[in-house]
Structure 1
Amino acid sequence: MKKSKLVMVGNGMAGVRTIEELLKVAPELYDITVFGAEPHPNYNRILLSPVLAGEQTLDEIVLNSWDWYKDKHITLHAGKKVVEVDRIRRVVRAEDGTEEGYDRLLMCTGSNPFILPVPGKDLKGVIAYRDIADTNEMIAASEKYKKAVVIGGGLLGLEAANGLMLRGMDVSVVHVMPTLMERQLDSVAGKLLQKSLEERGLTFLMGAQTRELVGGPGIDGEPGRVTAIRFKDGTEVATDLVVMAVGIRPNTELAEKMRLHCNKGIVVNDTMQTVTDARIYSVGECAAHRGIAYGLVAPLFEQAKVAANHLAQLGIGRYTGSLTSTKLKVTGIDLFSAGEFMGGEGTEEIVMSDPFGGVYKKLVIRDDKLIGACLYGDTVDGSYYFKLLRDGRSVGDIRDKLMFGESNIGDAGHEGHNKAAAMPMEAEVCGCNGVTKGTICKAIKEKGLFTLDEVRKHTKASASCGSCTGLVEQLLMATAGGDYSATPKLKAMCGCTDHGHQAVRDAIRNNRLMTIADTFKFMEWRTPNGCASCRPAVNYYLIST
């Protein structure tokens, strides 16, 4: 039987996840062709920050290698931007003239960074932070210049600032709001984050409004390069590099040219089909479902599963929207928020604040139900709170213990030092990929896994944003037991050090090291703040050794 032709425009995480899900249920249904504007295979965009910081390489963040496309018999046109789609003839054309016909089309054009419309935005040295090319340009600039300004105090801006600082630049962060990450954190947590980052060497200009970017000869005489940022109050800050990280917008340029209905994104229904053309589907940051364009990985992967189901002609499954939570790691600091974490009229707040210890927790309750949570510094119970919020169950009977997390509710015999061990098997550990504790533990036991990389490979847990890495490490330690310590001694814990796990444990025990900072200093860590792999592991060894 002749196969139908499926063409995907875009080669990002949401689109390729759709292809992966499709191949699971209907591997022989389509001849698949993928167009990617970037000259790379599918990579984890979320992990560009560790690449910028020198903690990982570009090769390490590739999700689907060149060989994967070849093995799956997928035609990949990398580095070829699609500029036209003829919906009548059902033909896709790239700017170099490459054409492919389709029976079904999957639009995964993602999003574009928003560039402030200020004078000087086109100067050399003014860039966004969105892809590998941006990351490479920032790394190159750090080797040549000394001063950088990052506009935007959200997650991306802070990660860019931290990475440039670790590369030796003097970095100032400009943020128009009074507190950092105001969409994910309340004001208390935002100020705690700012204080911590200031202690690490970042400078913040809060409430500052950019008026223009000033150009002139660069330090080496290069003409037309940004030399300063000027604010509305007339003040200036000298700089050699400006990184704009002020948000993203769904990339609908091609869709609009195709006359697909767009409103805050490419409008799709509950089967992820465009409302304009039933042959065309759309998932990811470019898609608008019920008026919402999602920018988090977890809902995009949910969309991918539904789209794959319908592309496979199974005709079941609907995407009805996502209740989202945000679990992030910003420069080594764990953050979590979900629901109505700001509180407000008719709500009650339970708050625990330990500024010295770097821990802040706020739970918001209405009518005896948890409706919001904001966690700073200790997020291990984020999944538990999110489940309570999602289930809408009453918390009246556990209210007095709620702040102390799942391991302190019910059976007092739970191990306090390893909260992951106390989680029920059905609890979700990796929100991005929907991986439960039971799935991870089963894989560790049945497949004999004893490294984090192996768990990521077999379950995808911790393979996307990385914020659940600490929990996965704890599960690995608790489940593999002695086998975990049997990791080859020559295998380094991560790119920050040449030391293996056992060497770190021995150093902590033998030298009575008390803090992560002490450990990094004693063992001469390459990066002062560590990374998403080593920080939680070292923290665990400190508490358990």
Structure 2
Amino acid sequence: MHPQSAPQSATLEHLVIIGNGMAGHRLVEALAKRPALSLRITVIGEEPQPAYNRILLSPLLAGEMERDALTLRDAGWYAEQRIDLVLGERVTNIDRQSRRLTTDAGRTLDYDRLVLATGSRPAMPPIPGLTLAGVHVFRDLNDAEALTRAAQAGGSAVVIGGGLLGLEAAEGLRKQGQAKRGMNVSLIQRDDRLMNRQLDITAARLLEAELCSRGLDIHTDAGLDHLTGDDQGHVTGAMLSDGHWLPAECVVVAIGITPNKELGQVAGLEVNRAIVVDETLTTSEPAIHALGECCEFQGNTFGLVEPIWKQVEVLAAHLAGEPTAGYVETPCATKLKVSGVSLYAFGPTEAEPDHDVLTYRDPLQGDYRRLLLCDGHIVGAVLYGDTAMGPWYFEHSLAGTDLGPCRQALLLGAADADALLHEHANPDSPERPVKEAA
């Protein structure tokens, strides 16, 4: 029975989903699309508003998007689906024996099946001064609103972290501040390059040059010693390990995430870095599942939407009693969400001795491509500027295609490469001239 037409009866199996973030909401939508499913569904969210797209917090901060555009479904949609939506409450206890949970508002709910989709929180480094007023993270709508106010007030800001989130926060602050009084934004990256987990040194330097040309002050190979504050307990700046001091009335910590595993611990589930699950997203308790950033599968945790969407597909099928092959990890590609910067990357950042390295660079257009091949198979790519070929490379990497027959055209375009692949597979077909790579 479709949830929309299901009566709220105690005879129906009661599924409770803890977490109304992107993962929990995606699961709700996947279950609502199954017409034969008989479930009573309750969703509990700690934030006061229904699920929204956290990926769009960066353009929201930059002033490129309105708040309403982030909402995934309003409360009316849940009502239409006859799904109970509880907002602004945090689950504090799970009793596995009685299958009952309790919220911080004193609400108790019994469940037959439980899904933990509690997400993550910003990781905080052991740096003195993080408790000063004016120190922020960038995780939810409240954070975006606080940073918007700080940017519009002007002054100086320091962003700690040169990964995806740090870059998006820094550029968002700069752009939001530019529209008002102006804000000087510095970024601290302890590694020798920006996005060191995704980019080689050439692409990272191109990215740094572009962001510096916009007005960002970027410090790589920079260690942060501590934050300084005034007599009122407000942050005044960041002291680097080399003694250099950066003034700041606003500091943003964006060094990564920490899975919210505490509910799993409270319930006595198997927990490591996150809540441990098997290939069906089931925890050590058969009636409890975990999904998204709060779960751990085969020693790995998750922070990108692509693997989490695959987890949703597997868990929805499992809850519906449908056959499923189970969750299997696959590589993911990275895109940067900074206006005017096109970047696409997957695979290792450094070449191994057995890698065949192909590179292309057009300084006038600002384009750069580097491919890593092993025995004719593409294992990694970094594209900056023109990223149109990125999905093509990634598709053939996942498929394990032998690209040796089109090696000379790999940097030129998909049409030329496909033509050579077709010619190799069909040697009797009419030949098509292909441009040679320089």
TM over 0.5: yes
Indicate the larger mover: 312-321 or 84-93: 312-321
| 1:179 matches 2:193 | yes
Q: Which amino acid aligns with 2:101?
A: V
Q: Is the 8 A contact 1:159 1:331 kept in 2?
A: no
Q: Name stretches of at least 5 consecutive residues in structure 2 with no aligned partner.
A: 1-8, 178-182, 421-438
Secondary structure at 2:337 match in 1: strand
Counterpart check, 1:194 vs 2:214 = no
Which consecutive residues of structure 1, in runs of 5 or more, have no partner in the other structure? 218-222, 413-545
Partner residue in 2 for 1:154:
163
The residue number in structure 1 matching 2:373 is 365
Task: Tell me how far apart the structure 1 counterparts of residues 419 and 200 of structure 2 sit (CA, whole Å).
Answer: 32
Alpha-carbon distance between aligned partners in 2 of 1:411 and 1:190, rounded to the nearest angstrom? 32
Report 1:78-89 matches (<5 A).
Answer: 78-89=87-98
| 2:214 matches 1:206 | no
Q: Which residue of 2 aligns with 1:377?
A: 385
Partner of 2:426: none
SS in 1 for 2:321: coil
Q: CA deviation at 1:293?
A: 0.9
| Cα distance in structure 2, aligned partners of 1:315 and 1:368 | 36
Match of residue 6 from structure 2 = none
Distance 1:45 1:401 in 2: 38
**2:132 alignment partner, SS class:** coil
How far, CA to CA, are the matches of 1:371 and 1:163 in structure 2? 33
Structure 2 residue aligned with 1:301: 309
Indicate if the aligned counterparts of 1:145 and 1:240 stay in contact, CA closer than 8 A. Answer: no
Contact 1:210 1:230 in 2 (8 A): yes
Instruction: Provide the C-alpha distance between the structure 1 equivalents of 2:88 and 2:326, rounded to a whole number of angstroms.
Output: 33
| 1:288 equivalent in structure 2 | 296
Match of 1:345 in 2: 353
Shift of 1:340: 2.8
Identity percentage of aligned residues: 40
Q: How many residues align?
A: 406
Q: How many Å apart are 1:381 and its aligned residue?
A: 1.4
Deviations 1:441-482 (A, max 9, x none): xxxxxxxxxxxxxxxxxxxxxxxxxxxxxxxxxxxxxxxxxx
Per-residue CA shift, 1:399-444, capped at 9, x if unaligned? 11111221233459xxxxxxxxxxxxxxxxxxxxxxxxxxxxxxxx
Whole-Å Cα distance in 2 between the matches of residues 396 and 409 of structure 1? Answer: 10
Task: Work out whether residues 92 and 99 of structure 1, in 8 Å CA contact, stay in contact via their aligned partners in 2.
Answer: yes
Structure 2 distance, partners of 1:296, 1:26, is: 29
Matched, 1:405 2:413: yes
Matches within 5 A, 1:223-372: 223-274=232-283, 276-372=284-380
1:369 Cα deviation from its structure 2 partner: 1.3
Matches within 5 A, 1:27-42: 28-42=37-51
Q: How do 1:99-110 and structure 2 match up within 5 A?
A: 99-110=108-119
Q: Give 2:207's aligned amino acid.
A: L
Instruction: Specify the SS of the correspondent of 1:303.
Output: helix
Check the 8 A contact 2:17/2:42 in 1, yes or no: yes
Amino acid at match of 1:182: N
Work out whether residues 341 and 371 of structure 1, in 8 Å CA contact, stay in contact via their aligned partners in 2. Answer: no
Specify which of 38, 43, 47 is matched with residue 56 of structure 2.
Answer: 47
Report how far residue 206 of structure 1 moved. 1.3
Alpha-carbon shift at residue 341 of structure 1 (Å): 4.3
Q: Which residue is equivalent to 2:72?
A: 63
CA distance in 1, matches of 2:50, 2:62: 22
Q: Secondary structure at the match of 1:156?
A: helix
The one of 389, 395, 420 equivalent to 2:403 is: 395
Q: Which amino acid aligns with 1:164?
A: L
Q: Supply the distance in 2 between the matched residues of 1:322 and 1:147 (Cα, whole angstroms).
A: 41
Q: State how far apart, in whole Å, the 1-side matches of 2:287 and 2:128 are.
A: 43
- Aligned residue number for residue 138 of structure 1: 147
Q: Give the match's secondary structure for 1:352.
A: strand
Is the Cα–Cα contact under 8 Å of residues 306 and 318 in structure 1 kept in the other structure? Answer: yes
Q: Deviations over 1:132-184 (max 9, x none)?
A: 11111101112324110000111111111111111221100011011100111
* Aligned equivalents of 2:336, 2:23: Cα separation in 1: 19
Match of 1:507 in 2: none
Deviations 1:264-308 (A, max 9, x none): 21111111111x101011110111111111211111000001000
Q: Distance in 2 between matches of 1:82 and 1:282?
A: 15
C-alpha contact 1:150 1:173 (8 A) present in aligned 2: yes
- Residue 205 of structure 2 aligns with an amino acid whose one-letter code is K
Q: Which amino acid aligns with 1:303?
A: Q
Inter-partner Cα distance in structure 2 for 1:35 and 1:50: 27
Aligned to 1:228, the other structure's residue is in SS state strand
Q: Whose RCO is larger (CA < 8 A, sep 6+)?
A: 2
Q: Secondary structure at 1:25's aligned position in 2? A: coil
Give the SS at the match of 1:330.
coil
Kept in 2, the 8 Å contact 1:309–1:317? The answer is no
- Distance between the aligned counterparts of 1:365 and 1:410, measured in 2? 17
CA contact (8 A) 2:138 2:252 kept: yes
Letter aligned with residue 287 of structure 1: C
| TM-score, normalised with respect to structure 2 | 0.90
- Alignment correspondent of 1:447: none
Alpha carbons 2:168, 2:337 under 8 Å: kept: no
Partners of 2:71 and 2:16 lie apart in 1 by 21
| Residue pair 2:58, 2:337 contacting (<8 A) in 1 also | no
Alignment of 1:487-502 (within 5 A): none
Question: What SS does the corresponding residue of 2:327 show, helix, strand or coil?
Answer: coil
Three-state SS of the structure 2 residue aligned to 1:100 is strand
Q: Could you tell me how far 1:26 is from its partner in structure 2?
A: 4.8
Counterpart-to-counterpart distance in 2, 1:69 and 1:376? 41
Runs of 4+ in 1 over 3 A off after TM superposition: none
| TM-score of the aligned structures, taking structure 1 as reference length | 0.73
1:106 to 1:88, Cα distance in 2 relative to 1, 3 A: same
Letter in 2 for 1:93: T
1:519-530 equivalence runs, <5 A: none
Whole-angstrom CA distance in 2 between matches of 1:279 and 1:26: 23
Note if contact 2:189-2:219 (Cα within 8 Å) is conserved in structure 1: yes
